[in-house]
Amino acid sequence: MKKNLLLLLLSIVNYQFLAAQQPALQPTNLVFNSVNPYNFILSFTPSTADGFLILKSSQPITDAPVDGTTYEKGQGLTSCKVMNNNAGTSFLVREVLERTKYYFKIFAYNGSGGSINYLSTNPLNDSIITPAADAGNYYQSIDSSSASFIADLHTLINSHTLQTYTPGYANLLMPYMYERDTVGGQEVVNCEYSGETTVYTPPFGFVATDYNREHVLCKSWMQTAAIYGASNLINYAEGSDYYNLLLSRSVPNVKRSNNPLGIVVNQSWSYGSSKYGTDNIGNNVFEPKADRKGDAARAMMYEMVCYDGLSGGWGLNELLSQANEQDQNILKLWNQQDPPDKFERTKNACINAVQHNRNPFIDHPAWAMCINFDSLIKTNLCGVLSGVEQIFPEASVRLFPNPVSQIFILEIEAVEFHEAEIAVFDMYGRKILQSKITEPKMAFDLSNAEEGNYLLYISVLGQTAFKKLTVIH
């Protein structure tokens, strides 16, 4: 009995000797600087401590550190992720998206390993909402109803800063839009075609990880491939344009090859969520994962409009190789089914920061209906500007498809969703539809409406917005 009591006393003495003293104070003065949709700088005033555990989440943080436990950068906890764990007091925060609220908690600690001792009460905490990846007045000179719409759009987006395919893409885009921290000092990326997850030890290397910068509009399709050779186009603007490049494992990239994108009816191959086979008319087609189909369609649309006239026309029936097998209706369908999400809009802002131009089909998805992409001529389906409309700082309204033949979808994106009301009026001021919006995304039926132009009214939290809506049958 005396021996056991002595051992217990010795263990208590050893713990008191080994355990570090708890810090007296938490850090103070949490500040966010250089805030944009894809990253920002976090800094704070340190207290007297050996280090600081920084937790980050898009939800309120409920976790608290446990003494004697060391947490790794990139480690996921119950309600958050460890952003950093050292003595630093200023960090670049990445792994963020536009219009999202991020919460932070910072705990001071002394010691390390099994002796680490956290001050777990009253941590430094704050939150921030990232700004919208909006275009501002970028499109102020564009009128989608104008006969010169395509030419005007080309002039606007073609004027941009050339960035290098190597090493620019890896340095300017990868760290902010694709790389994510995980434990063991490693990073994670995902293939945009297949969804496959890859863990690697930084720095990222395309050869080491077996990844490619996939040209959605294939290099061999480009008019200038006949002049410079497809493999050399990465040295030119049309071949290194970041809007036309998706991050992809080489396996699905090679399988896609120069084939058009399409809906696989007879499947002969798959990799992750991507597949290959023939479509309903027997063409060999490649089909990416569902939530990147719209991204791929808008990338291809951008590339055609941006470089039209460079050594010839850039419509699908004017380009080289298998471009004429690409069905523009598939691109337009995917543009509607998979509208721009927060990731794609954030990437639009990130690329804009380095290329100094934007992808108009991300900012205004409805503009895809304004263009016949077989020959890049204007259709008669355009009216006033449409797409995403911000109605107050934390929310925006998206309406698609527009024009609509039967069903249209209204989506409200906000940090916190609130019930809204809509009404649709014809050009004589007669109300043909009125409804409450009780969910962030709802569908409405206009199949009984006559063809023509209508005005959609929406009210959210006392803020109102009007959008032109065109019905076609």
CATH number for 409: 2.60.40.3080
Summarised one tens digit per residue, pLDDT across range 195-229 is 999 999 999 999 999 999 999 999 999 999 999 99
Domain containing 18 — which CATH number?
2.60.40.10
Whether residue 262 contacts residue 278, with contact meaning beta carbons closer than 8 Å, is answered with no
Do residues 82 and 180 both lie within one domain?
Answer: no
Residue 56 structure tokens: 């980050």
Distance CA 345, CA 250 (A): 25
Query: Which residue is associated with the tokens 């071949």?
Result: 239
The Cα-based distances of 457 to 47, 234, 363, 397, 419 in angstroms read 53, 46, 21, 11, 14
Residue 364 structure tokens: 């205004």
Residues of the chain predicted below pLDDT 50: 5-17, 383-388, 392-393
Do residues 368 and 411 both lie within one domain?
Answer: no
Task: Please identify, among 80, 113, 129, the residue that sits at the C-terminal boundary of a domain.
Answer: 129
- Nearest CA among 264, 374, 282, 379 for reference residue 328: 374
Do residues 100 and 228 both lie within one domain?
Answer: no
φ, ψ for residue 216, nearest 5 deg:
-65, -50
pLDDT of residue 6: 46
First vs last C-alpha separation in the chain: 91
pLDDT of residue 395: 59
Do residues 313 and 418 both lie within one domain?
Answer: no
Judging by beta carbons within 10 Å of its beta carbon (0-12, 13-18, 19+), is residue 128 exposed, middle or buried? middle
The Cα-based distances of 114 to 81, 367, 424 in angstroms read 21, 59, 65
Do residues 271 and 370 both lie within one domain?
Answer: yes
Do residues 331 and 245 both lie within one domain?
Answer: yes
Do residues 146 and 214 both lie within one domain?
Answer: yes
Do residues 101 and 229 both lie within one domain?
Answer: no
Type of residue numbered 88: G
pLDDT of residue 9: 44
Task: Please identify, among 79, 98, 129, the residue that sits at the C-terminal boundary of a domain.
Answer: 129
- Nearest CA among 30, 176, 161, 194 for reference residue 95: 176
Do residues 89 and 35 both lie within one domain?
Answer: yes
Judging by beta carbons within 10 Å of its beta carbon (0-12, 13-18, 19+), is residue 464 exposed, middle or buried? exposed
Judging by beta carbons within 10 Å of its beta carbon (0-12, 13-18, 19+), is residue 178 exposed, middle or buried? buried
Domain that holds residue 259: 133-382
Going 220 to 224 to 226 to 227, the CA torsion angle's sign is negative
Residue 16 structure tokens: 């008191």
Whether residue 272 contacts residue 250, with contact meaning beta carbons closer than 8 Å, is answered with no
Query: Which residue is associated with the tokens 């007091």?
Result: 89
Residue 302 structure tokens: 């951008």
Do residues 7 and 62 both lie within one domain?
Answer: yes
pTM of the predicted protein model: 0.80
φ, ψ for residue 155, nearest 5 deg:
-60, -40
Summarised one tens digit per residue, pLDDT across range 83-125 is 999 999 999 999 999 999 999 999 999 999 999 999 999 999 9
Do residues 149 and 118 both lie within one domain?
Answer: no
pLDDT of residue 390: 52
Distance CA 289, CA 341 (A): 14
Residue 54 structure tokens: 């920084």
Task: Please identify, among 129, 150, 173, the residue that sits at the C-terminal boundary of a domain.
Answer: 129
Relative orientation angle of helices 328-337 and 293-307, to the nearest 10 degrees: 130
Count up the domains in the chain and report the number.
3
Distance CA 145, CA 364 (A): 14
Do residues 116 and 79 both lie within one domain?
Answer: yes
- Strand-pair category, 388-392 with 420-426: unpaired
